[in-house]
Amino acid sequence: MKIQDFYIKIKDFIQSRPAVCLVLAFGILNLIFAGLLCLPIATNKFGSAGFEVSFFTSSSAISGTGLLVVPTATYWSIFGKIILLLTMQVGGLGVMTMASMLGMIVSRHLGLTTKILTSNDIKGSKFGELGALLRIVLVTTFSIEFLITILLIPRFLELKENVLDAIWNAIFFAVSCFTNSGFDLSTQGLGTFTSQWSIAIPMIFGLEMGAIGFPVIRNLWECLRMRSLKKLSLNTKVTLLFSSVLNALIVVWFFAAEWGSKNLFGEKVFSNNSSHAADLLLQAWTTRASGFAIGDPSQLSESTKLLSEIWMFIGGAPASTCAGIKVTTVAILVYAVIAELRGREDITAFHKRFPSSSLRVAITIMIAGLSIVLLFTLVLNTMTPDSLEVVLFDTISAYANCGLTQGLATTLPAFGHFLMGILMILGRLGTMTVAAALMKRDRVHFIRYPEESIILG
């Protein structure tokens, strides 16, 4: 009887505080993967990697960031690399999403508790839509990763790798690409095999599919199946519009400001302008997402670094493999400004009206994100000899789970590595999820205070 009572209490807690459970699940799973990376069998050196390195690496992998303190290709053994692969995959899909998919496979249906947890992990999804959405998540993820793997195997074979190594490297890279993790197994750097459009295009496709979010992919699939664009949701339209604008702006800026840069790609020699364009396009595209370092971010111009920081902070779409404050947050703020300039009370887009609560949520996410970045920047700046510009760049990259770096992690002490790991997890879970886990949102307020205006502007 006591066991049954305990089970009921746990179930009631999950149903009443799903955000808390999501944070706990992510944290516990991260510690498990860190523990596995601590095993001596996980490294190529004699002895254990130590909890500091393991925690930082697992946090980077499960959050889809890609920041490193040790080289992935040479430091970790095949066992360690398999653990990293699993960590990236679970983190990219989401802890509750992964658990729900396994539950669907076993029982063919979702329980109420699982639906509550999953709806919190896949933001904006209704209970009735979760089953179909999870199937889309599963099919989309493994289909895209399989496609990228097939496209990359010939390129790895061209690098004179044997068939098994080529397949393994392609699988690892495909998962890292779609989950926007930024890990790679190349000992000579990623730029050794990216200067071809046959590589750049599949990578960009995988990165963008991971960045637009699973709800958008599902909606696009429905429209394709019905051969009609009338079923496009407002979320899909806004996400695709602002993602396209952000991608176009950053690509144009990179080509205008960084074309012909002698330092960005080091001593790499391009056979023609086309290969140079492929690398530059890929470097620009990864700014909001994976953080694959085709070139050296520290060699970017100051203006490009600033723009990259803004784009990293924005990130991808909700329920995607990206972090940041999300493109829809920026969209709401932009549409709010347009509505205010036009003297309109309602915030509208595509002949639809946003709920009044959307603006409050967007402002909260923006201020919370800025506050977290500012706080960690100030703290980390006291621990390193690096300049404030380097600390700010890498802090935003960690929070946004981007992975571009100017080398901050190499100069931080052990405590700084733990702080960076926590920051990456905060970015992956999202500020609203963490905030909801720390406070009750279901309080009823019976008192409304009198209204009075203050002077603005």
CA distances from 86 to 52, 58, 61, 135, 405 (A): 20, 10, 9, 19, 23
Look at residue 245 in the predicted model and tell me its pLDDT. Answer: 93
Domain count, the chain: 1
Domain membership flag for residue 445: no
Domain membership flag for residue 449: no
CA distances from 285 to 30, 83, 311 (A): 28, 27, 10
Look at residue 4 in the predicted model and tell me its pLDDT. Answer: 66
Look at residue 118 in the predicted model and tell me its pLDDT. Answer: 45
Phi then psi for 82, rounded to 5 degrees?
-65, -40
Helix extents (H) in 227-289: 234-258, 273-285
Look at residue 380 in the predicted model and tell me its pLDDT. Answer: 94
Q: What's the burial of 79, exposed, middle or buried (CB within 10 Å: 0-12/13-18/19+)?
A: middle
Look at residue 268 in the predicted model and tell me its pLDDT. Answer: 54
Domain membership flag for residue 454: no
Look at residue 430 in the predicted model and tell me its pLDDT. Answer: 72
Look at residue 189 in the predicted model and tell me its pLDDT. Answer: 55
pLDDT (tens, 9 = 90+) of the chain, 457 residues, equals 466 666 567 666 656 666 677 777 788 888 999 999 999 999 887 778 888 899 999 999 888 888 888 888 888 999 999 999 999 888 877 644 654 444 444 344 444 444 444 444 455 555 445 566 667 677 778 888 898 888 888 877 876 678 888 888 889 988 888 888 878 777 655 655 556 777 778 778 888 888 888 778 888 888 888 888 888 888 899 999 999 999 999 989 988 887 766 666 655 545 566 777 777 888 888 887 776 777 778 788 888 889 989 999 998 888 777 888 889 999 999 999 999 999 888 888 888 898 888 888 888 888 989 999 999 999 999 999 989 999 999 999 999 888 888 889 889 998 999 999 999 988 887 765 665 555 555 555 667 778 777 777 6
Helix extents (H) in 160-231: 163-178, 197-212, 214-226
Look at residue 10 in the predicted model and tell me its pLDDT. Answer: 65
pTM of the predicted protein model? 0.82
| Residues across the chain | 457
Look at residue 140 in the predicted model and tell me its pLDDT. Answer: 77
- Which range of residues forms the domain containing residue 264? 2-438
Look at residue 264 in the predicted model and tell me its pLDDT. Answer: 67
Domain membership flag for residue 97: yes
Domain membership flag for residue 456: no
Domain membership flag for residue 443: no
Domain membership flag for residue 457: no
Domain membership flag for residue 15: yes
